[in-house]
Structure 1
Amino acid sequence: MSARERAAEAAGEVRDPEMPMLTLADLGVLRGVEMERGMDGGETVVAWITPTYTGCPAMATMRDDLVHRLNDAGFPRVEVRVVLDPPWSSDWISERGRAALRAAGLSAPGPARRASGPVALTLGPPRRAPDCPRCGSAATRLTSEFGATACKALYTCTGCLEPFEHVKEI
């Protein structure tokens, strides 16, 4: 296995600090891992990550966790670069990641709605129709647009009456 492959495998094991059932790779935040040779001939692992939204407070932790994991895997020189274009989309969450969210009792996001051209201003909460991750019922209602983190909303199932968090489509 090449050094780049070993580095990519190690980086792919790093967990999201806010949703630890997901790796950064499953979340789609880890965009790539490459090896760069420096002027001194030494190799540096370069990992690219994209925040789930501007100002995401977990970015510093993600960066630090990537550096520590790669250092532990035998790569002493690591650089983490932030990529903002294209912006992250919840469509980048892998099927394995979506299954992990459901297994943890979270509702996985549906397809992101991307508009071309001007985006209409709406003051109400976006229309979502998440199924209950516990009983599967489509009879759910929004309880709060804000969950434990900014990327989640709180819903209640009117079938089983259980509350659950829904990862927002972005």
Structure 2
Amino acid sequence: MNEGARDAEFGPLWHALEALTDPEIPVITLREMGILRDLRRGADGTVEVVITPTYSGCPAMEQIADDIAATLAREGVSGRVLTQLAPAWTTDWMTEEGREKLRAYGIAPPQCGSMAADEAVLRFAPARPAEPVPCPLCGSTNTTETSHFGSTACKALFRCLDCMEPFDYFKRI
């Protein structure tokens, strides 16, 4: 299906789905997180919403699937939610708008750049961020990791050594 026809068919539904927020970080949408991957028709003609978890054990995925199913029902659409594990989610899929929302919420966004076209899907990230993690509250880079696991497994706990406030850092995945 060409993109124009697809937009005509799914435009209102995309709009409704794009309003859904992450259950663990309610200031950022599933689209901004890169979790909401595709909206398409399955081989049987049923609408399929494709999502990819931030990591395979993410406890929010059941709630996300329920929220999507409720949105489909509210829009009068019969459909299903498909969880797609490959390619694996990466913080590179987060939008710039989403990163700014994380920062404003008090979570340091992941440090990452776009993947090169020839980069393999499997990557081994360093245990610690390569660059200093700026404090989302005061902007200082005089920060330290206090725990490799923060409020969720995809975040680490940091402390700013200038303003002395703790904050989450969304790990690069």
Q: Is the pair's TM-score, using the shorter chain for normalization, greater than 0.5?
A: yes
Unaligned runs of 5+ in 1: none
Cα distance in structure 2, aligned partners of 1:105 and 1:130? 13
* SS at 2:63 equivalent: helix
Unaligned runs of 5+ in 2: 1-6
C-alpha distance 5-94 of structure 1, shift in aligned 2 (>3 A): same
> Given the alignment of the two structures, is residue 98 of structure 1 paired with residue 99 of structure 2, yes or no?
yes
How much identity, in percent, do the aligned residues show?
A: 39
Counterpart of 2:170 in structure 1 is 167
Deviations 1:47-103 (A, max 9, x none): 00001111211111111100101211222x121111111110001110110111011
C-alpha distance 113-146 of structure 1, shift in aligned 2 (>3 A): farther
> Given the alignment of the two structures, is residue 73 of structure 1 paired with residue 75 of structure 2, yes or no?
yes
Deviates more, 1:88-97 or 1:128-137: 128-137
Amino acid corresponding to residue 81 of structure 1 in structure 2: L
Amino acid corresponding to residue 109 of structure 1 in structure 2: P
> Given the alignment of the two structures, is residue 132 of structure 1 paired with residue 135 of structure 2, yes or no?
yes
**CA contact 1:112–1:169 (8 Å) conserved in 2:** no
Amino acid corresponding to residue 111 of structure 1 in structure 2: C
Count residues in correspondence: 163
Cα distance in structure 2, aligned partners of 1:72 and 1:54? 28
Counterpart of 1:110 in structure 2 is 111
Counterpart of 2:89 in structure 1 is 88
> Given the alignment of the two structures, is residue 30 of structure 1 paired with residue 36 of structure 2, yes or no?
yes
Larger helix proportion of the pair: 2
Deviates more, 1:152-161 or 1:109-118: 109-118
C-alpha distance 121-17 of structure 1, shift in aligned 2 (>3 A): closer
**CA contact 2:134–2:140 (8 Å) conserved in 1:** yes
Counterpart of 2:63 in structure 1 is 61
Q: CA deviation at 1:112?
A: 6.5
* SS at 2:46 equivalent: strand
> Given the alignment of the two structures, is residue 15 of structure 1 paired with residue 21 of structure 2, yes or no?
yes
